[in-house]
Amino acid sequence: MNQFEQQIDAFLEYDYGVTARQATVPQLYNAVSKAAVKSLSVSPVSGKKACYFSAEFLVGRLVYSNLLNLGLLDRCRAYLAQNGFDPGVFETIEDDALGNGGLGRLAACFLDSAATHDIPLYGYGIRYRYGLFRQYFEKGFQKETADDWQNMGDPWAIRREEDTVIVVFADQTVRAVPYDMPVIGWGGNTVNILRLWQSEPVSAFDFEQFNLQKYDEAVAERVRAEEITAVLYPNDDTPVGKQLRLKQQYFFCSASLQSLVKESIRRRGDNFSHFAEDFAIQLNDTHPVIAIPELLRIFMEDYRMSFEDAFVLVRDTFAYTNHTIMAEALETWDTSLFLSVVPQVYPYVVMLQNSLNRDLKEKGVPPQEQSELQIISGGKIHMARLAVYATHATNGVAKIHSELLKSTVMPEWYRLYPERFQNKTNGITQRRWLALCNQELSAFITERIGNGWITDLNQLKKLEPYQNDPASLARYRDIKREKKLQLCHHVRIHEYGFELNPDFLFDIQIKRLHEYKRQLLNAFSILDIYFALKDGTLTDFYPTAFLFGAKAAPGYRRAKGIIKFINEIARVVNEDPQVKDRMQVLFVQNYNVSYAEKLIPAADVSEQISTAGTEASGTGNMKLMLNGAVTLGTLDGANIEIVEQSGMENNYIFGATVEELAAIADTYDPKVLYEENSRIRRVVDTLIDGTLDDGKTGLFQELYDSLLEGASWHRADQYYLLHDFESYCEAKLRVNRQYHNREEFSRKCFVNTMNAGKFSSDRTVKEYAAEIWGVPI
Ligand SMILES: *Cc1c(COP(=O)(O)O)cnc(C)c1O
């Protein structure tokens, strides 16, 4: 037997006193993971090191992907089988969900790509005790439970007690203890590190209080320290402005910087003049932007640097990635709150503000134009402004998004510092999102063009000769069916025995629940089809399963209302014998990375229907394209680049463009559309006419009002659902008609896979390395 298998046996024997055949699944999981970790050696960084600061890393289940990259996956499966276990047995191990959605998943893809291409990129973040909540439905309403992801252990991480640092707040001081997770590149040659910080008390237990019989006080410090990293905020795209959130941000930024400063001292003593040549720090959105004044503070207070010297180093070190277009999503902190949490940092924000004012004066910016540029203004600290001012590069995450940053979101900053603005179109790792989740399609590709695509996704272009080969297309279709059957099996187990029909077209919308992502528009179109089938006005409809997966932030009432609405539609449709052999509707529970790995390979149609100008990039769209789904979408985010790569004729684009929406913004009146269009009226009225029931919560009435009445803080139908409704339904029915021609449709899917090369995060990370970090590739 080989070393890896022997190591597993040894861990089982040593840790649990069992043989493989006697072991429980958690015991096996821990032993397999530890055996793999033991085989690793972390690659030393000699030149410049890039650091990715992110409040979220949505890595997903690690055991299979790590074994895949190490080349041990097949051996592990064989080992499990030999010992009487199902090779998929680790699927019961929880998903690692220390992120909300796209932003955290992007961070995880970047780490995978960097390790694969020998780029020294290290992640820095927070080891939340509880990750994103788990979701289930009760009577169609979302319910949440805690994500206790450590309940089977955390064998991939190593606690580094010796690298503990102290983090100080106005009202408490805590220890930051790092847990290092190996990030294993393809082939296992490069191993980088994801360092996640956990908050712990400085003194574990206060004996003085205990002896005074004050038991609560004795543990109070522990409780307050652990609170900081207790739970991930479940808001995606909307800042919360809470004290604890600011504490989390400062906690991991200060700890990470202290750790880098120590590393710098190990390399060069306390001469920091080379800091920006040794380290590049990428800030994933504004969540870690507080690192900027914190590094200034460390340099000036602890190492007696002047502001001028420290600021040059800081600016050369940091770069900032913006993830949002919507103004309300740009993070600010109340000055008073900031002062009550980290008063020691505030003077450095003021210094940046003063420095900015000097620059504005020097550049002759007229006073009336200066107010939009103030970092501190109206009693708030504007984190995005601070970030653009104090970094050398600001990037958007898709071409259109980067253009909108310059023209609409921060035009005054673009005028000041045009050379700082860049684009880095997002990407995804093909290791997890094809090699791991779709081994059947991977084998198909490798049989035809070799396996070079695993580290160079542009090689998918070599599939071109097969796009008109009937045998290849037939096999490609068979694989899609195979993946549908696997999904049907998974759904049967996880959705109370739901029998999804594998002969149907699978139309899938999976992403966080947000008004701007327009799941409600999808719901309306499904109702429209349902009514047309019942009325007999729609014939020749290819039977379709409409699938949704999404979590709503627990405090986001409208998002929860939309989930309930779709679940009600599902109940009515699935129970209706008149349509049951032509449509199904299912909202899966607890959509996460592992569920995504099941859903994506089974999709025929990828729903990417955000209002033009609202989705910065999207990455779900790329995963689905790679796995051969056609995009039914708007000209928004990376959808634009997707159709650029694979052709308008192979996708289904509908709806208003950014320019068209800008032109009608002031005159748009959804009530007119509602009055004049009976199809619109019929589907919208289901919210209030008793067709569908929200259990007297008022949720459906509120959705209705949001479309037709608006509110104090937004206009009616601010995301233009009714405006795009007809064009969307038309496109959706066009997909459906063309799906009848199975051969021609599978060619479109195939062409999408073939042209997905651009959307590898390998490409994205190399662009960051070359154009922002100055790290050799
Ligand atoms: C990729 C991914 C996302 C991002 O999806 P979008 O459609 O780009 O919003 C969100 N959640 C999970 C679990 C993902 O894997």
Taking only the tens place, the pLDDT of each residue in 758-771 is 999 999 999 999 99
Which amino acid is residue 545, in one-letter code?
A: A
Cα-based distances in Å from 518 to 203, 544, 679, 682: 49, 20, 18, 18
Which residue among 57, 58, 598 is best mutated to probe the pocket of ligand 1, counting the most ligand atoms within 8 A of its Cβ?
58
| pLDDT at residue 207, as a whole number | 65
Q: pLDDT of 437-455, one tens digit each?
A: 999 999 999 999 999 999 9
- Residue 589 Cα, ligand 1 centroid: separation in angstroms? 15
Same domain, 62 and 118: yes
pLDDT at position 216: 72
Q: Is the pLDDT of residue 24 over 90?
A: yes
| SS3 (DSSP) at 603 | coil
What share of residues in the chain are helix, strand, coil (percent, to 5)? 50, 15, 35
pLDDT digits (tens, 9 = 90+) for 74-120: 999 999 999 999 999 999 887 778 999 999 999 999 999 999 999 99
Residue nearest ligand 1's atom 5 by CA: 620
Q: Is the pLDDT of residue 236 over 90?
A: no
The residue whose CA is least distant from atom 1 of ligand 1 is 620
Positive/negative CA dihedral, 113, 117, 118, 120 = negative
Provide the pLDDT confidence category of residue 309 given band limits of 50, 70 and 90: very high
439 and 314 within one domain: no
| Tokens, residue 152 | 């089977």
In this prediction, residue 208 carries a pLDDT of: 67
Residue 700 CA, ligand 1 centroid: distance in Å: 26
Tokens read off for 693: 């029931």
Which entry of 431, 518, 623, 732 is annotated as an active-site residue? 623
Answer yes or no: are the C-beta atoms of 615 and 516 closer than 8 Å. yes
304 found inside a domain: yes
Kindly state the DSSP code that residue 511 receives in the 8-state scheme. S
Q: What is the pLDDT of residues 682-716, one digit of tens each?
A: 999 999 999 999 999 999 999 999 999 989 999 99
Q: Clarify whether residues 389 and 438 are in a common domain.
A: no
- 198 and 250 inside one domain: yes
Q: Which of 71-75, 207-211, 496-500 has the highest mean pLDDT?
A: 496-500
Residue nearest to atom 4 of ligand 1 (CA): 102
Q: If pLDDT is split at 50, 70 and 90, which confidence band does 42 have?
A: confident
Question: Is residue 36 situated within a structural domain?
Answer: yes
Mean pLDDT of 6-20: 96
- Ligand 1 atom closest to Cα of residue 517: 9
What is the reported pTM?
Answer: 0.97
CB 640 within 8 A of CB 659: no
For 556, the token pair is: 């986001």
**What whole-number percentage of the chain has pLDDT above 70?**
98
Nearest CA to ligand 1 atom 10: 101
Q: Are residues 498 and 373 in the same domain?
A: no
Instruction: Provide the 10 A C-beta neighbour count for residue 711.
Output: 11
Are residue 441 and residue 421 in the same domain, yes or no?
Answer: no
Residue nearest ligand 1's atom 6 by CA? 620
pLDDT over 70 at 2, yes or no: yes
Question: Do 443 and 355 sit in the same domain of this protein?
Answer: no
Report the atom number in ligand 1 closest to the C-alpha of 622.
8
Q: Which of 401, 433, 511 to mutate to test the pocket of ligand 1 (most atoms within 8 A of CB)?
A: 511
The three-point CA angle 283-286-290 to 5° equals 80
In a domain, 79, yes or no: yes
3-32 CB burial, b ≥16 within 10 A, e <16 = ebbebbbebbeeebeeebeebebbbbbbbb
What percentage of residues in the chain have a pLDDT greater than 90?
Answer: 92
Residue 669 scores a pLDDT above 70 = yes
Catalytic site residue 222?
no
412/489 same-domain check: no
Report the alpha-carbon distance of residue 339 to residue 350 in Å, rounded. 12
Nearest to 51 by CA among 294, 296, 284: 284
Ligand 1 centroid–CA 626 distance in Å is 14
Q: Which of 235, 512, 600, 636 to mutate to test the pocket of ligand 1 (most atoms within 8 A of CB)?
A: 512
Ligand 1 centroid–CA 759 distance in Å is 14
Condensed to tens digits (0 to 9), the pLDDT of residues 149-190 reads 999 999 999 999 999 999 999 999 999 999 999 999 999 999
CA distance 375 to 389: 9
Residue 743 main-chain phi, psi, to 5 deg:
-65, -50
CATH number of the domain at 746, please. 3.40.50.2000
- What average pLDDT does the segment 223-248 reach? 92
Is 690 within the bounds of a domain?
Answer: no
Q: Across the chain, what does the average pLDDT equal?
A: 96
Decide if 696 is inside a domain.
no
Calculate the alpha carbon distances from 576 to 116, 138, 333, 488, 529 in Å: 50, 21, 51, 20, 14
Mutate to test the pocket of ligand 1, among 65, 98, 105 (most ligand atoms within 8 A of CB): 105
> How many beta carbons lie within 10 A of that of residue 335, not counting itself?
17
Give the pLDDT of residue 204: 67
- Compute the distance from residue 644 Cα to the ligand 1 centre, in Å: 21
* Torsion angles phi and psi, residue 461, rounded to 5: -55, -30
Does residue 195 sit within a domain?
Answer: yes
Residue nearest to atom 7 of ligand 1 (CA): 620
Instruction: Give the distance (Å) from ligand 1 centre to CA of residue 619.
Output: 6
Q: How far apart are CA 91 and CA 184, in angstroms?
A: 20
CA of 25 from ligand 1 middle (Å) equals 29
> How many angstroms separate the alpha carbon of residue 201 from the centre of ligand 1?
35
Asked if 214 is an active-site residue, the reply is no
461-513, pLDDT tens digit by residue? 999 999 999 999 999 999 999 999 999 999 999 999 999 999 999 999 999 99
- Looking at the CA of residue 592, tell me the nearest atom of ligand 1: 13
Place of tokens 């045998």: 471
What spacing in Å lies between the alpha carbon of 396 and ligand 1's midpoint?
18
Question: Kind and range of the H or E element at 50?
Answer: strand 49-53
Q: Would you call 406 a catalytic residue per the annotation?
A: no
723 is catalytic: no
What does 709-760 look like in DSSP terms, one character per residue?
T-BTTB-TTTT-HHHHHHHHHHHHHHHHHHHTSHHHHHHHHHHHHHT-GGGB
Report the alpha-carbon distance of residue 488 to residue 498 in Å, rounded: 8
Residue nearest ligand 1's atom 3 by CA: 102
125-157 pLDDT tens trace:
999 999 999 999 999 999 999 999 999 999 999
pLDDT in tens, 254-266: 999 999 999 999 9
Asked if pLDDT for residue 731 goes beyond 80, the answer is yes
Whether 512 is a known active-site residue: answer yes
Confirm whether 343 is domain-assigned: yes
Q: Is the pLDDT at 210 greater than 80, yes or no?
A: no
Tens-place pLDDT, residues 378-412: 999 999 999 999 999 999 999 999 999 999 999 99
Q: Do 483 and 364 share a structural domain?
A: no
571 shares a domain with 644: yes
Model pLDDT, residue 206: 64
Phi-psi sector, 235: left (phi>0), alpha (psi -120 to 50), beta: beta
CB 512 within 8 A of CB 518: no
Which residues' Cβ are closer than 6 Å to ligand 1?
A: 101-102, 105, 511-512, 592-593, 596, 618-620, 623
Q: How far is ligand 1, taken at its centre, from the CA of residue 540, in Å? A: 33
Catalytic residue among 77, 134, 323, 483: 323
- Cα gap 400→295, rounded to integer Å: 32
Check: CB of residue 337 under 8 Å from CB of residue 323: no
For residue 618, which atom of ligand 1 is closest to its CA?
Answer: 8
Selected catalytic residue, list 297, 511, 514, 582: 511
Report the separation in Å between the CA atom of 102 and the middle of ligand 1, taken as the mean of its atom positions: 5
Is 483 noted as a catalytic residue in this protein?
no
Active-site residue, from 391, 619, 631, 764: 619
Helix (H, G, I), strand (E, B) or coil at 194: strand
Give 564's pLDDT tier (boundaries 50, 70, 90): very high
586, β-bridge pairs: 547
Question: For atom 8 of ligand 1, which residue has the closest CA?
Answer: 618
* Residues 546, 68: Cα–Cα separation, whole Å: 32
In DSSP terms, which residues pair with 176 in a beta bridge?
165, 199
| Nearest atom in ligand 1 to 595's CA | 13
The verdict on residue 670 lying in a domain is no
What pLDDT is attached to residue 678? Answer: 98
Nearest to 729 by CA among 500, 527, 511: 527
How high is the pLDDT of residue 39? Answer: 86
Residue numbers of the domain that contains 733? 433-449+467-660+720-759
What is the number of structural domains in the chain?
Answer: 2
Q: Using CA positions, which residue lies closest to atom 9 of ligand 1?
A: 511
For residues 490 and 364, membership in a common domain is answered with no
Task: Specify whether 521 is located in the same domain as 656.
Answer: yes
Task: Locate the ligand 1 atom nearest the alpha carbon of residue 102 and give its number.
Answer: 4
